[in-house]
Amino acid sequence: MTYLEQRLVALRHERLLVGWDFAFGYPEGFAEALELKDKPTWRAVWDHLATLIHDHPDNSNNRFQVGAQLNKRIGAPAGPFWGVPVGQGSRHLGPKRNFDYPVLAQEVLLPERRLVDTLHPRMQPAWKLAYTGSVGSQSLLGIPILRRLRDHPELTQVSGIWPFETGGGGAGAKKIVHAEIYPSMLSRPGLDAIPDREQVNTYVAWLQARQRMGELQGLLERPWGNDAAVHRQVTEHEGWILGVNRWTL
């Protein structure tokens, strides 16, 4: 059992919000392009990634090979995944985005960004696997880890993935709620010599302030609005970022 599994098991009777700084989903149509038939759609993608990713304790992994494999399976002329160190590119995954979105794959048009990614100027698409600000590699590697935690025998009954399993109705009855976060959405003071640490601490302090003011529950309740089509897009396919509101950005 990993340290994180141990900590979550120890806290499984507490109310816990766990934030993960990577995309939980991909633009709507990804599962269809991969010809994944299982439902719910987001979980079919998670399960498929878990069969492909090999992530080792020494930090070696096959994320770029998986990106190329997914591009090949989709059958698009190029993309949607891109970004690999120079010299490690392949026929199905290049170092540069030398194609345009939307990508046509299996008669499905895949846009560059999820709906939530269009609401903040610094957010990066999950297709981008390398270079400044990229989140794609973190998603490919992080989703299988989060899936394992969600399905841990001692955690599965108390854990939920927001908003996929809560429907955007807040935390619901789950004790442990896993949510996608984006600490870069907040400005940091610039006082810490380690920017990433300060960024995370700033975001945690912001969430704690929201909780003290009684606003935290509201952040979990349909920040994408009440449109039925958008709700389905978010809760069945793409996910959402905690703290992003569709109306105020």
pLDDT digits (tens, 9 = 90+) for 95-118: 999 999 999 998 999 999 999 999
Domain count of the fold of the chain: 1
Q: Taking 50 as the threshold, does the pLDDT of residue 9 lie above it?
A: yes
pLDDT at 249 > cutoff 50 = no
Both tokens of residue 125? Answer: 């698409």
In a domain, 210, yes or no: yes
In a domain, 249, yes or no: no
Asked if the structure places residue 148 within a domain, the reply is: yes
Q: Is residue 246 part of a domain?
A: no
Q: With respect to residue 247, please indicate whether it lies within any of the assigned structural domains.
A: no
Using the 8-state DSSP alphabet, how is residue 139 labeled? H
Contact status, residue 130 vs residue 192, Cβ threshold 8 Å:
no
Any idea which of 82-91, 124-133, 232-241 has the lowest mean pLDDT? 82-91
Nearest alpha carbon to residue 115 among 222, 6, 2: 222
pLDDT digits (tens, 9 = 90+) for 160-198: 999 999 866 655 678 999 999 999 999 989 999 999 999
How many other C-beta atoms are found inside a 10 Å radius of the C-beta of residue 100?
9
Mean predicted confidence (pLDDT) in 147-152: 96
Pairing of strands 176-180, 159-161: parallel
Q: Is residue 243 part of a domain?
A: no
pTM: 0.93
The whole domain housing 85 covers 3-238
Residue 93 CA to residue 71 CA, distance in Å, equals 7
Would you say residue 186 lies in a domain? yes
Query: At 120, is the pLDDT very low, low, confident or very high (cuts 50, 70, 90)?
Result: confident
User: Mean pLDDT across the chain, nearest whole number?
Assistant: 93
How crowded is the C-beta side of 7, counted as CA atoms within 13 Å? Answer: 5
**36-55 average pLDDT score:** 97
CA 151 from centre of chain: 17
